[in-house]
């Protein structure tokens, strides 16, 4: 029998929150998007009150401090949201007997491997942002025994700031763009991640088996460099008749930023496929629609 209910989402204005609003839910399911104004996850009372009036069956925490470079000088703020706030959401869900899905990041890894990371690999962040996300994972798992942590990567979509949007903006302003070719990872369409969350939520709503919870990788299915990702974005723009900038491959050392990035952060999604039947997400199939929407903006 299909189990219906409400998916309550903290971080309702995030990329994943906005993508969930555009993705058809499973039969019998509804979506409750909770913005920061409605429920700041660093406020325990606000979190508890939001869930008390929600009729939620599953809770999703998509709220995050995502300013990777700012986190280097705003460590306290990053940890307040990505660790302490995440723990408050997980604990509030646990107090109501609810499972929680928590969105995490490939930045928990050092980037020293040259094959996709699996969940059992040692997580050694190289930035404050990555450290705050790893601390958040651990706090969530400690606070709620029915927690599923989804590590994703290189999220892009039609909403909010993301790599695809930035490349299209730069391409409209410059004749040539330099993009690093020595950072390797897995682009992930926000809409595809939303579909994966909708597939997972009904399974977790009634699940008690510990093997159905824990850490899972959920990202795009094709490993590329940042340069290759940018080339794919511009190829879609060119297919729509847009004049695009030339791409120049540069090393990370030529584009220094306050926060270090993992050189290699591709993720293996094999565990998620085995346990929940959700495979790697086909980001190239989703990119064309994303670029068309971004170019269609006024």
Active-site residue numbers? 129
Distance between CA atoms of residues 237 and 255, nearest Å = 24
**CA distances (Å), 63 to each of 84, 121, 136, 142, in order?**
12, 25, 11, 18
286, HSE (Cβ side, Cα atoms, 13 Å): 23
Expressed in angstroms, the distance from the first to the final Cα of the chain is 45
Q: For residues 96 and 56, what is the distance between their CA atoms, to the nearest angstrom?
A: 9
Report residue 268 as tokens: 């293996």
Rounded Cα distance, 59 and 147, in Å: 10
Task: Give backbone dihedrals phi and psi of 188, rounded to 5 degrees, phi first.
Answer: -140, 125
Helix (H) or strand (E) holding 180: strand 176-180
Interatomic CA distance for residues 218 and 7, integer angstroms: 19
Residues in CB range of 144: below 8 A, 6 or more apart: 90, 91, 93, 94, 99, 100
Integer-rounded Cα radius of gyration of the chain: 19
The torsion of the CA quartet 252, 253, 255, 256, rounded to 10 degrees, works out to 110
């Amino acid at each position: 029998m299909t189990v219906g209910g409400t998916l309550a989402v903290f971080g309702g204005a995030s990329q994943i929150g906005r993508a969930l609003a555009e993705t058809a839910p499973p039969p019998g399911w509804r979506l409750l998007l909770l913005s920061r104004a409605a429920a700041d996850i660093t406020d325990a009372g606000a979190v508890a009150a939001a869930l008390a009036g929600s009729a939620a069956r599953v809770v999703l925490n998509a709220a995050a401090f995502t300013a990777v470079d700012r986190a280097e000088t705003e460590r306290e703020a990053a940890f307040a949201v990505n660790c302490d706030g995440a723990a408050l959401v997980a604990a509030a869900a646990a107090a109501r007997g609810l499972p929680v899905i928590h969105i995490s990041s490939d930045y928990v890894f050092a980037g020293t491997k040259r094959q996709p990371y699996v969940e059992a690999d040692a997580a050694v962040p190289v930035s404050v942002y990555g450290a705050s996300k790893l601390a958040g994972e651990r706090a969530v798992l400690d606070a709620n025994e029915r927690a599923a942590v989804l590590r994703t990567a290189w999220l892009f979509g039609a909403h909010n700031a993301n790599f695809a949007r930035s490349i299209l903006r730069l391409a409209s302003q410059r004749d040539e763009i330099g993009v690093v070719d020595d950072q390797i990872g897995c682009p992930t369409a926000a809409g595809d991640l939303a579909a994966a969350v909708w597939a997972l939520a009904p399974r977790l709503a009634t699940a008690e088996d510990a093997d159905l919870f824990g850490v899972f990788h959920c990202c795009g299915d094709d490993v590329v460099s940042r340069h290759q990702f940018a080339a794919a974005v511009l190829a879609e723009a060119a297919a729509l008749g847009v004049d695009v900038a030339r791409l120049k491959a540069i090393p990370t050392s030529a584009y220094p930023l306050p926060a270090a990035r993992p050189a290699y952060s591709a993720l293996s999604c094999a565990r998620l496929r085995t346990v929940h039947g959700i495979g790697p997400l086909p980001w190239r199939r989703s990119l064309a629609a994303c670029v068309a929407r971004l170019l269609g903006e006024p």
